Structure 1
Amino acid sequence: MSEPAHESEPVRIPDHDLDDLVATVTQLVAESRKQGETLSRLTDEQPPQHDGKHDEPVHTDESTPTSALEDSDATATGAERPSSLFILALDGKAYAEELAALTTWVHYLLLPVYGREITTGRPWCQQWHEHPEAVARLHALWLAWQQLTDIEAGLAGPSTWHRDHLDSALLQLRTPDGPFGACTTSPARPNHRLLASPEPAGV
């Protein structure tokens, strides 16, 4: 009878799966760049600023203070661009779309490469998207991945992502007292349960 693999033994990916993994990573990188370009366009689309050098002087009604016009412009501009890229700042359709994109990245890149085996010391939950802390940490990890695997991040970008983001995120998510502490600890016994969080103190 063969000895069980030690928990620290590295995961081996069969050679025939590597081509699929490379294609998936390439597709995810392309999608991430497209999303970044879209967000950049939304952020950059602002009304042209008047510098007063070549334009005709602007005449305003004396009954309308200049500050009110500026506030109106700021409100219109703010409505066109997202206030935050972080998923917890989104709601409705925007949240659903971001969660769907995050799920693709988690299922096709993060778990196949970095998932490791489920054990009592390293729990996981197939319904991770129902754990708010897991969604927040995984989304932050994905945002960092998009930035640090971009060619503009330089040659050390991926190493920085592993060191500063991946290791700490997985340590927090998969620790026995983390968000999945009451979920699956053995692949043969799937389980999902949300742990109760502290009640806010009364005001």
Structure 2
Amino acid sequence: MPDAVDPSDEGIMEPLRFPDPGVESLQASVRRLMAESQQQARLLDSLSSRPEDTTFAYDGFAPGPPSPRGSRPEPRFILTLDGTAFEAELDALSDWVTDFLLPTYGAEVSTAAPWCLQWTEHLDVVGWLHGLWLAYQQHIDPEAGPSGPAVWHRDFLTHTMAAVRAPGGPLSACMTSPDRPSHRILPSPHGSADAVPGSVSSKAAA
């Protein structure tokens, strides 16, 4: 039975008090639910204000900020470049050939597989190897999938090296033995290489 309230006590109503212990338990449950609800609301606000990160780790590469599409310049075939752009691309290609391609896939020099230490002077060889390098960059990209490197070996590496180092290929007049370094540019149907507008020397001077 609730305590009686004296209406003459300056008109202030005292709150009703229920001695039933079940009411206190109910009040505690309500307070706990309200606290949990506030905590969930703060968590939702925090998640909604956090920028979405769509970059994921792949093959040991840590995720980083997503780069906008088109932020990197599109690769251009080296034989379409001139002047300093051609020289810069040729330097990068030379580093890849010297540091990776030859140590890994450079078979022994012989009459069946000639080579030239001055291969950068052979415009056709530069074109072949630059195409191989572009394909390499494409097929080791994570977007190429796990089979990307195998596709590069099958469709690009074997064919390119066979064409460049063929006995009758562009380097056939150059070094056929490591003990006899040699360099010679075979004349084209237009005459000497220096006279051809698209030669390495003319591109570097452009």
Q: Same fold (TM over 0.5)?
A: yes
Please state how far the C-alpha of 1:38 moved relative to its aligned partner: 11
| Aligned amino acid, residue 97 of structure 1 | A
Gaps of 5+ in 2: 1-60, 62-66, 192-206
| Aligned amino acid, residue 86 of structure 1 | F
* Larger proportion of helix: 1
RMSD over aligned Cα, in angstroms? 2.2
Q: Secondary structure at the match of 1:186?
A: coil
| Aligned amino acid, residue 125 of structure 1 | C
Cross-structure match for 1:189: 180
Q: Secondary structure at the match of 2:71?
A: helix
Q: Quick check: which has more Rg, 1 or 2?
A: 2
- Distance in 2 (CA, whole Å) between partners of 1:145 and 1:175 is 21
Please state how far the C-alpha of 1:40 moved relative to its aligned partner: 3.6
The answer to whether structure 1 residue 119 and structure 2 residue 110 are counterparts is yes
Please state how far the C-alpha of 1:197 moved relative to its aligned partner: 1.1
Q: How many residues align?
A: 126
| Aligned amino acid, residue 94 of structure 2 | T
Cross-structure match for 2:168: 177
Relative to the length of structure 1, the TM-score reads 0.58
| Aligned amino acid, residue 171 of structure 2 | F
Cross-structure match for 1:132: 123
Q: Which portions of structure 1, spanning 4 or more consecutive aligned residues, are displaced by more than 6 angstroms?
A: none
Cross-structure match for 1:90: 81
Please state how far the C-alpha of 1:39 moved relative to its aligned partner: 10
Would the alpha carbon gap of residues 129 and 38 (structure 1) be closer, same or farther in structure 2, given more than 3 Å must change? farther
- Aligned counterparts, 1:65-104, within 5 A: 85-104=76-95
Percent sequence identity is 50
Would the alpha carbon gap of residues 39 and 175 (structure 1) be closer, same or farther in structure 2, given more than 3 Å must change? farther
Cross-structure match for 1:154: 145
The CA deviation string for residues 69-89 of structure 1, in whole angstroms up to 9 with x for no partner, is: xxxxxxxxxxxxx7x600000
Please state how far the C-alpha of 1:198 moved relative to its aligned partner: 1.3
Please state how far the C-alpha of 1:144 moved relative to its aligned partner: 0.2
